[in-house]
Chains A and B, each alone.
Chain A
Amino acid sequence: DIQMTQSPSSLSASVGDRVTITCRASQSISNNLNWYQQKSGKAPKLLIYAASSLQSGVPSRFSGSGSGTDFTLTISSLQPEDFGTFYCQQSYSSPWTFGQGTKVEIK
């Protein structure tokens, strides 16, 4: 199985800050990498698919990059509503796997 490792596990940042979350795959997954945001008690929401494609309706301050084993989710200017836990997920091969999550708090 492909292991997905995210860093950091949590972070606290101020409104307006640039935030970067990284995700590393245990083997190459090309760009079959998706990012989700989940708020407490709610279902996850797709933000980015295919490593860098922005899902419809998602603000353009979210962006994704990377290929192979190393990927990044960037929030260019953190907004109050951007709190929650962010997960990466590979769909390169089954079983699909998620990273352990990165919890983002607003200072």
Chain B
Amino acid sequence: QVQLVESGGGLVKPGGSLRLSCAASGITFSDYYMSWVRQAPGRGLQWVSHISSSGTTIYYADSVKGRFTISRDNAKNSLYLQMNSLRAEDTAVYYCARVGLTTYYYDSSPAPYYYYYMDVWGKGTTVTVSS
């Protein structure tokens, strides 16, 4: 059974740091890109970051670039999000999500086409930034 379990959330003061973890089970973790998505109270979903299966390709939302660092340990089946210089606007539920990939081959193109989507989600961990 595929499962993602986030941990590490809590209350932190502005300017503080927090490290979130996501433990994966039931999947070959090293085969998948992984993402973090957050949701502020009463707001919509916001993609935060994703990391390739090997950890060599990483992207961030502009709002967290330079403050957050995504990483993974494939030997431990774990994903991390190091959050520094936290602000009140970082208050949110943070979800870990597996990035699924489907490859299509079209007659019109010799190269395959890749589709990415977030197909397995954890239950989330809450981060509150407040003095």
Q: Which residues of A contact B (CB under 8 A)?
A: 1, 31-32, 34, 36, 38, 42-46, 49-50, 53, 55, 85, 87, 89, 91, 94-101
> Which segment of B13-21, B75-83, B84-92, B119-127 sits at the interface?
B119-127
**For the complex, would chain B's binding face be called helix, strand, loop or mixed by DSSP majority?**
strand
A95 vs B116: C-alpha distance in the bound complex, in angstroms? 13
B102 within 8 A of A: yes
Number of A-B pairs, beta carbon distance below 8 Å = 68
Q: Which residues of B contact A (CB under 8 A)?
A: 35, 37, 44-47, 50, 59-62, 95, 100, 102, 104, 115-119, 121-124
A25 vs B124: C-alpha distance in the bound complex, in angstroms? 28
| Nearest chain A CB to B81 CB, angstrom units | 15
A44 vs B47: C-alpha distance in the bound complex, in angstroms? 12
A95 vs B47: C-alpha distance in the bound complex, in angstroms? 8
Q: Is the CB of B44 within 8 A of A100?
A: yes
List B contacts of A1 (CB < 8 A).
62
| Nearest chain A CB to B3 CB, angstrom units | 12
Q: Is the CB of B117 within 8 A of A49?
A: yes
A104 vs B118: C-alpha distance in the bound complex, in angstroms? 22
Q: Is the CB of B117 within 8 A of A46?
A: yes
Tell whether A44 pairs with B119 under 8 Å between CB atoms, given A89-B47, A95-B59, A96-B50.
no
Q: Is the CB of A34 within 8 A of B117?
A: yes
Q: Is the CB of B102 within 8 A of A49?
A: yes
List A contacts of B46 (CB < 8 A).
98
Most B Cβ at <10 Å: residue of A36, A38, A53, A97: A36
| Nearest chain A CB to B65 CB, angstrom units | 9
Tell whether A43 pairs with B121 under 8 Å between CB atoms, given A32-B115, A98-B44.
yes
A105 vs B35: C-alpha distance in the bound complex, in angstroms? 29
Offer 22 A-B interface pairs, CB within 8 angstroms, sorted by A: A32-B116, A34-B118, A38-B45, A42-B123, A44-B37, A46-B100, A46-B117, A46-B119, A49-B115, A49-B119, A55-B117, A55-B119, A85-B44, A89-B117, A89-B118, A94-B59, A95-B61, A98-B47, A99-B44, A100-B44, A101-B44, A101-B45
